[in-house]
């Protein structure tokens, strides 16, 4: 797969990532090429035209490496190969070439916090003795209490339960190993230089194959505090102290040295290679530290995603994000949904005060969900996001207005969260349901005709109304809005990177200018909002209210 020049990019080749629109492709659920009910590389290659027509600049593909799929591929058994269920290395190479030929850049997902328990290094660690060099690439410790029966400390898995599991040594209960996620995802010990060398070599492996960048999974988790001290959990609530500047395993200062070394690897290539960090940190200020000029190029901005559908909260999230990236000269990024959170149609279609929750258990129950309201607001949110300065992420299905499938039967749930939470948290499967492409019954074109297996998660019957086929010629559809917005974003010199200024507006209304000549007005209030005098509507998310007004829960792009 060559490193050929990417054709047709609007932005300077040196800085394309500063305002790229990146499409997140959750491979298992995008398109199935061979009829086994699971998305794959053949499916992506057959559907690249959808991405070109949508008008995105790049794709980020969720992990496609060999994996037992204990956590949807975030449990990697071999970082230099492709999971056979998804295809082959040759197909991967062909996909990168074909994407480049269409002007699309390709970003892969790298998972450096943990491997699969089937990774060769972890198997070697299990076979080796306590205290061995094989074990020191992970975090192995003796247990506490009589017989070492208690975990070494009080850390909790993100998916529920303790962050430690015990192994057998010489046929008897032995040491414990750390896993901040599933027990099948042992955490690497990043203070072992072999771990650092290995990941730099993995980066080069894929960069040498023409890959344009990496999304870094759990970038804030790699470094653990020496001695692995207790968190000091409250026994009643199991919650740690709310505010702590020295959390023993999240966002520790040492992670920055790792990313400085990674940046040197990326910068050693003639064509820029870029990083986007997944860092769930306490504040935009903490996030900005990852974006210093010798570290990551961009990071996801989850404060925008977490903000409720209320003008003051959104305005604050936008201001704060722009101020902090400006302080380090980085570009902002904006994201509404991804494979870990409830789809935004379903978040926004609930009473506004609940908008801040992003897992199903945080949100008001399904009966409070108004799909039409969610859809209206999602349209307005898309125009807001694409008008902000910087880059933006589209999670597959956002462009179809997909909602969270909240009533998946218990027996099909695959997210480890469901079992690890003792069946109290249904997890993230509801945003991972395979995409509907065409037709009126499942698999809605997700799998080819004559497929021998059903989609890996069942699609609801009402996906029939939102297939690509059903939307493509409908000027009122979500797909048409996304295509129009992205086309205009490419053409209009004021959009993408560049200046941003708030305009005076009524309460509940967000209005801002982008350079001279372009403005965006988003109405989050209950009544119609007035457009600036003399403005001409370029694109609107809702029906035209007439008389220079924008209806509630709608946004407009204006020539001013």
Q: Which of ligand GLC, Ca ion, none does residue 399 bind (CB under 5 to 8 Å by kind)?
A: none
- Residues 123-162, one symbol each (x = binds ligand GLC by CB under 6 A, - = not), give ----------------------------------------
Q: Which of Ca ion, ligand GLC, none does residue 38 bind (CB under 5 to 8 Å by kind)?
A: Ca ion
**Distance of CA 326 to CAs 43, 359, 510, 535, Å?**
39, 30, 21, 29
Q: Which of Ca ion, ligand GLC, none does residue 40 bind (CB under 5 to 8 Å by kind)?
A: Ca ion
Residue count (the chain): 560
* Phi, psi dihedrals of residue 360, rounded to the nearest 5°: -55, -35
Q: Is 38 in the site for Ca ion (CB under 5 A)?
A: yes
21-25 and 333-335 strand pairing: unpaired
16: tokens are 């394309």
* Closest CB to ligand GLC: residue number: 74
Element (H, E) at 201: helix 193-207
Scanning 35-43, 194-202, 219-227, 235-243 for contacts with Ca ion by CB under 5 A, the matching segment is: 35-43
Q: For residue 26, which of 337, 401, 351, 286 has the smallest C-alpha distance? A: 337
Nearest distance in Å: CB 478, ligand GLC = 24
Nearest distance in Å: CB 381, ligand GLC = 21
Scanning 34-42, 97-105, 125-133, 315-323 for contacts with Ca ion by CB under 5 A, the matching segment is: 34-42
Q: Is 251 in the site for ligand GLC (CB under 6 A)?
A: no
517: left (phi over 0), alpha (psi -120 to 50) or beta: left
- Residue 141, SS3? strand
Question: DSSP class of residue 257?
Answer: H
Q: Is 83 in the site for Ca ion (CB under 5 A)?
A: no
Q: Which of Ca ion, ligand GLC, none does residue 111 bind (CB under 5 to 8 Å by kind)?
A: ligand GLC
Query: How far is 239 from 272, CA to CA, in rounded Å?
Result: 42
Q: Residue 298: how many CA atoms within 13 Å on its side-chain side?
A: 28
Number of neighbouring beta carbons within 10 Å of residue 213: 26
Nearest distance in Å: CB 414, ligand GLC = 12
Q: Given the structure tokens 């009080």, which residue do they identify?
A: 154
Question: Is the CB of residue 156 less than 8 Å from the CB of residue 178?
Answer: no
Among 82, 111, 305, 345, binds ligand GLC (CB under 6 A): 111
Question: DSSP class of residue 297?
Answer: S
Nearest distance in Å: CB 377, ligand GLC = 24
Among 6, 38, 202, 218, binds ligand GLC (CB under 6 A): 218
Residues of this chain, 332-361, that bind ligand GLC according to CB under 6 A: 339-340
Q: Is 71 in the site for ligand GLC (CB under 6 A)?
A: yes
- What is the sign of the dihedral through the CA atoms of 337, 341, 345 and 349? negative
Scanning 29-37, 55-63, 94-102, 283-291 for contacts with Ca ion by CB under 5 A, the matching segment is: 29-37
- Binding residues for ligand GLC, rule: CB under 6 A, are 71, 74, 111, 181, 217-218, 278, 339-340
- Binding residues for Ca ion, rule: CB under 5 A, are 32, 34, 36, 38, 40
């Amino acid at each position: 797969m060559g490193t050929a020049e990417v054709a047709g990019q609007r932005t300077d080749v040196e800085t394309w990532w500063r305002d790229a629109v990146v499409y997140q492709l959750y491979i298992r659920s995008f398109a199935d090429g061979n009829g086994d009910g699971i998305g794959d590389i053949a499916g992506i290659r057959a559907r690249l035209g959808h991405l070109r027509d949508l008008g995105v600049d790049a794709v980020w593909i969720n992990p496609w490496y060999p994996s037992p799929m204990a956590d949807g591929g975030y449990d990697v058994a071999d970082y230099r190969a492709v999971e056979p269920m998804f295809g082959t290395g040759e197909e991967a190479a062909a996909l990168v070439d074909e994407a480049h030929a269409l002007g699309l850049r390709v970003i892969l997902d790298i998972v450096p916090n943990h491997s699969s328990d089937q990774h060769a290094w972890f198997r070697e660690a299990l076979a080796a003795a306590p205290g061995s060099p094989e074990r020191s690439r992970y975090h192995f410790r003796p247990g506490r209490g009589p017989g070492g029966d208690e975990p070494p400390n009080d850390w909790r898995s993100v998916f529920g339960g303790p962050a430690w599991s015990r192994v057998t040594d010489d046929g008897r209960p032995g040491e414990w190993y750390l896993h901040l996620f599933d027990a099948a995802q042992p955490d690497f010990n990043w203070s072992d230089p072999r771990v650092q060398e290995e990941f730099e070599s993995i980066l080069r492996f894929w960069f040498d194959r023409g890959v344009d960048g990496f999304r870094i999974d759990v970038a804030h988790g790699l470094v653990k505090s020496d001695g692995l001290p207790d968190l000091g959990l409250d026994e009643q609530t199991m919650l740690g102290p709310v505010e702590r500047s020295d959390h023993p395993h999240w966002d520790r200062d040492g992670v920055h040295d790792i990313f400085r070394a990674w940046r040197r690897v990326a910068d050693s290539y003639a064509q820029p290679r870029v990083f986007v960090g997944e860092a769930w940190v306490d504040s935009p200020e903490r996030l900005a530290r990852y974006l210093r000029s010798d570290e990551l190029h961009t990071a996801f901005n989850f404060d925008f995603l977490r903000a409720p559908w209320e003008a003051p909260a959104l305005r604050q999230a936008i201001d704060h994000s722009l101020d902090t990236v400006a302080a380090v000269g980085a570009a902002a990024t904006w994201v509404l949904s991804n494979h870990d959170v409830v789809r935004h149609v379903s978040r926004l279609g609930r009473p506004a005060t609940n908008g801040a929750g992003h897992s199903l258990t945080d949100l008001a129950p399904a009966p409070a969900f108004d799909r039409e309201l969610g859809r209206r607001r999602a349209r307005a949110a898309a125009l807001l996001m694409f008008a902000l300065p910087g880059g933006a992420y589209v999670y597959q299905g956002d462009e179809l207005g997909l909602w969270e499938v909240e009533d998946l039967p218990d027996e099909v749930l695959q997210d480890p969260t469901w079992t690890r939470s003792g069946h109290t948290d249904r997890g993230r499967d509801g945003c991972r349901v395979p995409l509907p492409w065409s037709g009126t019954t499942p698999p809605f074109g997700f799998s080819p005709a004559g497929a021998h297996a059903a989609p890996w998660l069942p699609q609801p019957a009402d996906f029939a109304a939102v297939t690509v086929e059903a939307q493509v010629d409908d000027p009122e559809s979500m797909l048409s809005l996304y295509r129009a917005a992205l086309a205009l974003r490419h053409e209009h010199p004021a959009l993408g990177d560049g200046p941003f200024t708030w305009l005076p507006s009524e309460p509940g209304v967000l209005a801002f200018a982008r350079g001279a000549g372009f403005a965006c007005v988003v109405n989050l209030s209950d009544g119609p909002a007035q457009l600036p005098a003399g403005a001409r509507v370029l694109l609107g998310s809702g029906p035209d209210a007439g008389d220079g007004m924008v209806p509630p829960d709608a946004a407009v792009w204006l020539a001013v």
